[in-house]
């Protein structure tokens, strides 16, 4: 079946530090890949996505590149802010699965001033 693996964390960084959250996947078909973010007390928000190999998704300074050869979609940001503190979920969706999204366990990020 489909699965997504990411570190659970928590990850604690100082403000302006570089962020990397690793994500690898296995999929039965050709997946679209996503990063979602969940702020405290809120639902999930789509952060970025990529639908084919070598695509780079980007939003709010975050980036992730779809690497088919390594089945990875690592999330990066060059300089994190306190407001980036949240839980980040890597996820995938495959054709034919309609809106069934398979999520990773989520990585909690805490940014300290």
**Which residues lie near other proteins (CB under 8 A)?**
32, 36, 41-46, 51, 89, 93-95, 97-106
Q: How far is the CB of 67 from other proteins (least distance, A)?
A: 20
Q: How far is the CB of 97 from other proteins (least distance, A)?
A: 7
* DSSP for 11-26, written as a single string: EEEETT--EEE-EEEE
Tell me whether residue 79 or residue 95 sits nearer to other proteins (CB atom). Answer: 95
Q: How far is the CB of 18 from other proteins (least distance, A)?
A: 26
CA atoms within 13 A on the CB side of 108: 4
Tell me whether residue 19 or residue 47 sits nearer to other proteins (CB atom). Answer: 47
Tell me whether residue 18 or residue 39 sits nearer to other proteins (CB atom). Answer: 39
Question: Exposure pattern of 66-94 as b/e (b: 16+ CB <10 Å)?
Answer: bbeeebbbbbebeebeeebbbbbbbbbbb
């Amino acid at each position: 079946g489909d699965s997504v693996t990411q570190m659970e964390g928590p990850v604690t960084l100082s403000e302006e530090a570089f962020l990397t959250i690793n994500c690898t996947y296995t999929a039965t078909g050709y997946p679209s890949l996503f990063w979602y973010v969940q702020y405290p007390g809120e639902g999930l928000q789509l952060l970025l996505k990529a639908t084919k190999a070598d695509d780079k998704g980007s939003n709010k300074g975050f980036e992730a590149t779809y690497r088919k050869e390594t089945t990875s979609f690592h999330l990066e940001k060059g300089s994190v802010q306190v407001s980036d503190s949240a839980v980040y979920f890597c996820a995938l969706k495959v054709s034919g699965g309609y809106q069934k999204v398979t999520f990773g366990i989520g990585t909690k990020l805490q940014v300290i001033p």
